[in-house]
């Protein structure tokens, strides 16, 4: 039931591969093309050349590069000094083939095996409407079940989306997150490759999730997927993203941009439980534009990576639009999870809700960084933010940076924050009932996360619990 | 007499670096019997209860705790629980987000060999029996452990867990405190339901009141970190009337 979203660290299942402690695969690095290290004009031109893109896209990329160079990395938030662009390969093309295939058999055996062991093809059969799989810089597999194709649903890798639906693509691409938005969005705009392109037509309800799975195998790689999701009026669907990477001594860099347009009365959910290995900088921009009567829900689980900066946002631009963020972060030794949300109320009667739960252990550090902004004229907007932090020991650290800007008298905004420490009395109590110390700690943590976990479909909740238990291993001192 | 008893021998304990709290406790509870432990505030009753369960905040300076002949002092609290000890806490903690049913399932599974799990039907029957014995509604099982519980509900939950986990020996630490008379009767009914030849129980209480509903086989009196006297159930009554100074005088303590 479990292995749907993420890494499967059951080492014995991965016999014959080079094992690492927790991240369970590491294939030989083979590729058709690898860019020089670093980010420059040559690299971008090469990416564009390989993709045989329209000219406007190359122009867009080069402009974005200029913007990135002008902006420079953010001077706030977590320490990014270990991230050196000159050590990163910004584009790795795994094979010569252009575009994706829709048959796992056509994927090189070793790569296919990794996805198989992660349970992706099996989940595709059972519980998903469509699956995309990205390996290094390119999507290698993409398939939508016929049933949904017939109803006009589009689910493609973003490069193919640009080719097959140039008008639709151009109409929405970069409209939610322009390169000017932030440094990492600019970098992504310059070198983006892969990601998913999703369009669900008016009134269509996709009852089972669409999923994309991102795999990094190479050392010192940067992955810059670009996802564009459009929910036409009255549509309803759930998109899930999973990701994994082997642990190396050198750092890798993942910086996706996810743009979602939720049109009138549509209902879109986007869930991700990232479990990157602890050498990945995970700096992602996710934003949804939510129109009248529509609803957008982000579920954001941050368990892996070295540094995460991720603030899923909803721009509530239509009357009665609703935005929601459920966020879970686990910062183990050496990790910094800087996560949060942005809720921008720009229309009357818009509502938003944020629930953030973070856990810090050892030298791990978690921060909640959130913005609630209510513009003048957004009459009777309501927003509620709740962030709870749990510290597993004396050294762990948590911070909250809430920003609230209200320009409308009728607004109703609530913010609640709690910090608790793993309580010796609770542990003793649970142990006195027969639970071992590590089980007792895991149970307290599970209970702490329960309000969010119970919003997840069962198999994802199971997976989340399993990942948390893995992260908790070795917590008993 | 070690075979079927919980025996405390010459137990000395303190908070690390602090004054002695237990100063040589001797006490035997045979299986199949219910004993009361009475004593004034600060006499060390609750400390004794927590130490038996393995509370790591105390330091044992001398003595033994023998569970049917085996010294449990070197065992962790969870190992003691799995060996058949149970403590009903005076102040049960809250564990948000963890339902009573889920928690009890984990606690039962912890008693089984690795990989085995309690059967669904078996588990459900146990829960039902316990809920019924305590005149409780089944919906309580889906509530989170003590979250938002009243004092009385917490105490009742401690007895519910006792009935489901079926320990060989239970220590009830002032389970009667803060209960109104109806709640007291319910708790007593639960404890009486657990009584039997396979179950030994030590009831810690200030007052004789609880003992009207749970008739003890024997009464021990603890003062200043020692059990200074013991007797039949009538001793509890006498204590209630005459007070602890009377016992002090009797034994010359």
For B1-10, the pLDDT digits (tens) are 558 999 999 9
For testing the chain B interface, which of A434, A439, A440 should be mutated: the one with the most B CBs within 10 Å?
A434
Measured CA to CA, the distance from residue B12 to residue B4 in angstroms comes to: 23
- What's the pLDDT at A457? 73
Chains A–B, number of C-beta pairs less than 8 Å apart: 78
Q: Which residues of B touch A355 (CB under 8 A)?
A: none
A168/B contact by beta carbon, under 8 A: no
Residue B204 has pLDDT above 90, yes or no: yes
Measured CA to CA, the distance from residue A424 to residue A433 in angstroms comes to: 14
Q: Say which of A426, A435, A451 has its CB closest to residue B78.
A: A435
Written as one string, the DSSP assignment of A398-430 is EEEEEEEEE--TT-EEEEEEEEEE--HHHHHHH
A477/B contact by beta carbon, under 8 A: no
For testing the chain B interface, which of A388, A420, A430 should be mutated: the one with the most B CBs within 10 Å?
A430
B144 contacts A431? CB cut-off 8 A? no
ipTM of this model? Answer: 0.96
Contact between A191 and A275 (Cβ < 8 Å): no
Residues 6+ apart with CB under 8 A from B243: none
Residue recorded with tokens 């009665």: A320
Contact between A239 and A210 (Cβ < 8 Å): yes
Measured CA to CA, the distance from residue A104 to residue A109 in angstroms comes to: 9
For testing the chain A interface, which of B85, B100, B106, B114 should be mutated: the one with the most A CBs within 10 Å?
B106
Summarize pLDDT for A351-362 with one digit per residue, the tens. Answer: 999 999 999 999
Residue of A nearest to B94 (CA): A426
Measured CA to CA, the distance from residue B91 to residue B158 in angstroms comes to: 10
- What's the pLDDT at A476? 59
Closest Cα in chain A, distance from residue B116 (Å): 15
Backbone angles phi, psi at A34, to 5 degrees: -130, 130
Measured CA to CA, the distance from residue A280 to residue A276 in angstroms comes to: 6
How far is the CA of A142 from the CAs of A107, A161, A404, B246, in angstroms?
11, 11, 41, 86
Q: Which residues of B touch A430 (CB under 8 A)?
A: 95, 103
Closest CA to A365 of A388, A341, A334, A328: A334
A421/B contact by beta carbon, under 8 A: no
Helix (H) and strand (E) counts for chain B? 8, 10
Measured CA to CA, the distance from residue B79 to residue B77 in angstroms comes to: 5
**Between β-strands A397-406 and B20-30, what pairing exists: parallel, antiparallel or unpaired?**
unpaired
Query: Of all residues in chain A, what percent carry a pLDDT higher than 90?
Result: 59
Give B150: exposed, middle or buried? Use CB within 10 Å, 0-12, 13-18, 19+.
Answer: exposed
Query: Helices B120-133 and B181-194 sit at what angle, rounded to 10 degrees?
Result: 140
| Rounded-to-10 torsion of CA A201, A205, A206, A211 | 70
- What's the pLDDT at A137? 83
Contact between A297 and A265 (Cβ < 8 Å): no
- The SS3 of residue B30 is strand
- What's the pLDDT at A220? 83
The third-level CATH classification (topology) of the domain covering B5-251 is Rossmann fold (3.40.50)
Q: Which residues of B touch A444 (CB under 8 A)?
A: 95, 98
Contact between B188 and B156 (Cβ < 8 Å): no
- What's the pLDDT at A24? 57
A430 contacts B165? CB cut-off 8 A? no
Summarize pLDDT for A275-312 with one digit per residue, the tens. Answer: 888 889 999 999 999 999 999 999 999 988 999 999 99
Q: Kindly state the greatest CA–CA separation across chain B.
A: 57
Measured CA to CA, the distance from residue A128 to residue A176 in angstroms comes to: 27
Angle at B39 between CA B38 and CA B41, to 5 degrees: 130
Contact between A460 and A3 (Cβ < 8 Å): no
Contact between A225 and A255 (Cβ < 8 Å): no
Closest CA to B232 of B248, B250, B211, B253: B211
A395/B contact by beta carbon, under 8 A: no
Q: Which residues of A touch B56 (CB under 8 A)?
A: 424, 428
Instruction: Name the DSSP class of A337.
Output: E
- The SS3 of residue A203 is coil
Q: How many residues does chain B have?
A: 253
Summarize pLDDT for B14-66 with one digit per residue, the tens. Answer: 999 899 999 999 999 999 999 999 999 999 999 999 999 999 999 999 999 99
Measured CA to CA, the distance from residue A373 to residue A402 in angstroms comes to: 11
Measured CA to CA, the distance from residue A215 to residue A78 in angstroms comes to: 24
Euclidean distance between the first and final Cα of chain B, in Å?
28
Contact between A476 and A441 (Cβ < 8 Å): yes
Taking the whole predicted model, whether its pTM rises above 0.80 is answered as yes
Measured CA to CA, the distance from residue A295 to residue A289 in angstroms comes to: 10
B34-38 β-sheet, strand order = B85-88, B169-173, B200-205, B34-38, B218-223, B226-231
- The SS3 of residue A473 is coil
Backbone angles phi, psi at A121, to 5 degrees: -60, -35
B117/A contact by beta carbon, under 8 A: no
List the beta bridge partners of residue B34: B201
Backbone angles phi, psi at A365, to 5 degrees: -140, 130
Low-confidence stretches of chain A (pLDDT < 70) are: 1-27, 98, 474-477
Q: Say which of B76, B144, B161 has its CB closest to residue A433.
A: B161
Summarize pLDDT for B214-251 with one digit per residue, the tens. Answer: 999 999 999 999 999 999 999 998 988 898 999 888 88
């Amino acid at each position: 039931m479990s292995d749907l979203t993420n890494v499967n660290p059951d080492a014995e299942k991965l016999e014959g591969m080079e094992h690492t402690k927790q991240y369970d695969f590491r294939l030989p690095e083979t590729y058709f093309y690898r860019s020089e290290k670093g980010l420059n004009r040559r690299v971008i031109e090469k990416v564009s050349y390989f993709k045989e893109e329209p000219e406007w896209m190359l122009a867009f990329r080069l402009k974005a590069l200029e913007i990135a160079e002008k902006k420079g990395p953010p001077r706030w938030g977590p320490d990014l000094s270990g991230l050196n662009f000159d050590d990163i390969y910004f584009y790795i093309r795994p094979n010569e083939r252009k575009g994706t295939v829709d048959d796992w058999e056509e994927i090189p055996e070793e790569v296919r095996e990794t996805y198989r062991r992660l349970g992706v093809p099996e989940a595709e059969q059972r519980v998903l409407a469509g699956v995309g799989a990205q390996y290094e810089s390119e999507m290698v597999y993409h398939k939508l079940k016929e049933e949904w194709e017939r109803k006009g649903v589009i689910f493609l890798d973003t490069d193919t989306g640009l080719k097959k639906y140039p008008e639709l693509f151009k109409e929405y691409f970069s409209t939610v997150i322009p390169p000017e938005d932030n440094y990492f969005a600019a970098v992504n705009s310059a070198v983006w490759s892969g990601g998913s392109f999703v369009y669900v037509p008016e009134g269509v309800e996709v009852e089972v999730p669409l999923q994309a799975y991102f795999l990094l195998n190479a050392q010192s790689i940067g992955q810059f997927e670009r996802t564009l999701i459009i929910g036409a009026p009255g549509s309803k669907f759930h998109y899930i993203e999973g990701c994994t990477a082997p642990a190396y001594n050198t750092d890798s860099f993942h910086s996706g941009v996810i743009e979602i347009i939720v049109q009138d009365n549509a209902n879109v959910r986007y869930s991700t439980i990232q479990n990157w290995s602890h050498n990945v900088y995970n700096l992602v921009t996710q934003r949804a534009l939510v129109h009248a009567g529509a609803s957008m829900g982000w579920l954001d689980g941050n368990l892996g990576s070295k540094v995460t900066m991720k603030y899923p946002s909803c721009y509530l631009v239509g009357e009665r639009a609703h935005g929601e963020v459920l966020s879970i972060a686990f910062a183990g030794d050496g990790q910094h999870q800087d996560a949060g949300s942005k809720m921008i109320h720009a229309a009357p009667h818009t509502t938003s809700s944020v629930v953030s739960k973070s856990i810090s252990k050892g030298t791990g550090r978690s921060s909640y960084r959130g913005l609630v902004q209510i513009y003048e004229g957004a009459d009777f907007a309501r927003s509620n933010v709740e962030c709870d932090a749990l510290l597993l020991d004396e050294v762990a650290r948590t911070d909250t940076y809430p920003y609230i800007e209200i320009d409308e008298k009728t607004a109703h905004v609530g913010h609640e924050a709690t910090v608790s420490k793993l309580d010796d009395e609770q542990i003793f109590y649970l142990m006195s009932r027969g639970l071992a110390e590590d089980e007792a700690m895991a149970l307290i943590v599970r209970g702490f996360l329960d309000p969010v976990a119970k919003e997840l479909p069962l198999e994802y909740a199971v997976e989340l619990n399993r990942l948390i238990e893995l992260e908790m291993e070795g917590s008993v001192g | 007499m070690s075979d079927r008893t919980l025996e405390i021998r010459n137990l000395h304990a303190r908070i690390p670096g602090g004054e002695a709290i237990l100063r040589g406790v001797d006490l035997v509870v045979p299986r199949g019997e219910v004993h009361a432990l009475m004593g004034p505030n600060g006499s060390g009753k609750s400390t004794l209860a927590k130490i038996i369960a393995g509370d790591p905040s105390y330091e044992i300076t001398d003595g033994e705790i023998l569970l049917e002949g085996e010294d449990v002092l070197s065992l962790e609290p969870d190992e003691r629980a799995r060996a058949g000890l149970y403590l009903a806490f005076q102040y049960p903690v809250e564990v948000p987000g963890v339902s009573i049913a889920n928690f009890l399932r984990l606690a039962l599974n912890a008693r089984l060999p690795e990989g085995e799990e309690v059967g669904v039907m078996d588990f459900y029957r146990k829960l039902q029996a316990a809920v019924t014995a305590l005149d409780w509604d089944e919906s309580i099982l889906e509530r989170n452990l003590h979250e938002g519980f009243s004092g009385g509900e917490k105490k009742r939950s401690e007895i519910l867990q006792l009935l489901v986990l079926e320990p060989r020996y239970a220590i009830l630490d002032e389970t009667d405190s803060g209960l109104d008379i109806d709640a007291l009767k319910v708790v007593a009914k639960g404890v009486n339901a657990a009584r039997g030849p396979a179950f030994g129980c030590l009831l810690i209480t200030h007052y004789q009141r609880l003992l009207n509903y749970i008739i003890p086989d024997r009464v021990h009196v603890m003062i200043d970190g020692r059990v200074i006297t013991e007797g039949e159930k009538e001793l509890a009554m006498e204590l209630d009337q005459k007070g602890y100074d009377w016992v002090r005088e009797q034994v010359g303590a």
